[in-house]
Structure formats: structure tokens, C-alpha cells
């Protein structure tokens, strides 16, 4: 079973805020793109994991990796170079 997130310095609320901001950025993507749909699913799953009373680091990390792969496969450079992706990765890296 995955570890629960107990890491000092892990900014849970900041990460949730960034997920919300990134969701807003995703609204700019055209509907119907497989990669964009995957990205939307991954960010929704990440929010779900982070909203749990005691999120598990393994689940958050796995979802993050899937989200990152979907973002990297998009050709939209504005999204790929999003500061939200970089910052969320930094915070999740503290797990």
C-alpha cells in the first residue's frame, strides 16, 4: 500500500490551488483531442486524490506521471511550458 502524505514542507493547499488554476488553463484546449481529454481526466483524478482526507503519495505520484506524459504529448507549447506543470511537479517531488 502506498504511503500517506506526511512529508513536512508538502504544501497540500498550494497544490490544490494550482490544480484548479491548471484546470482553468485546460479550458483553452480544443475539445475532441485525445491528449487533451487524457489531460483533463488526469487532472480530475489528481484533484480527487488530493481531496481525500489522507492522500496517498503513490497514487498522487502515479497520476502526476500520467498527467505529465499527456501534457508532454500535446503540441500546444503554451500548455507544455505551463508554469503550473513545473510548480506542481516541484511540490509533488517533495513527497
| 78 pLDDT more than 80 | no
Q: Pinpoint the alpha helices (H) of 1-95.
A: 12-26, 34-51, 57-73, 77-80, 83-92
- What is the CB-side half-sphere exposure of residue 43 using CA atoms within 13 A? 24
Residue in this structure with the C-alpha cell 503554451, named with its chain if needed: 78
Cβ atoms < 10 Å from Cβ of 18: 18
* Per-residue pLDDT at 44: 92
- pLDDT for res 93: 75
| Tens-place pLDDT, residues 12-68 | 788 888 889 888 888 877 777 787 788 889 999 999 988 888 888 888 888 888 888
pLDDT band with cut points at 50, 70 and 90 for residue 95: low
pLDDT at 5 over 70: no
Confidence band, pLDDT 50/70/90 cuts, at residue 75: low
What distance in Å separates the CA atoms of residue 62 and residue 42, rounded to the nearest whole number?
A: 10
Question: Does the pLDDT value for residue 1 go beyond 50?
Answer: no
Instruction: Provide the angle, in degrees to the nearest 10, between the axes of the packed helices 34-51 and 57-73.
Output: 160
Amino acid at each position: 500500500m502506498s504511503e500517506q502524505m506526511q512529508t513536512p514542507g508538502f504544501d497540500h493547499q498550494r497544490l490544490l490551488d494550482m490544480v484548479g488554476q491548471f484546470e482553468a488553463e485546460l479550458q483553452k484546449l480544443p475539445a475532441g483531442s485525445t491528449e487533451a481529454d487524457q489531460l483533463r481526466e488526469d487532472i480530475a483524478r489528481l484533484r480527487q486524490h488530493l481531496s481525500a482526507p489522507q492522500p496517498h503519495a503513490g497514487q498522487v505520484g502515479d497520476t502526476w506521471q500520467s498527467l505529465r506524459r499527456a501534457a508532454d504529448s500535446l503540441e500546444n507549447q503554451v500548455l507544455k511550458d505551463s508554469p503550473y506543470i513545473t510548480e506542481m511537479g516541484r511540490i509533488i517531488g517533495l513527497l
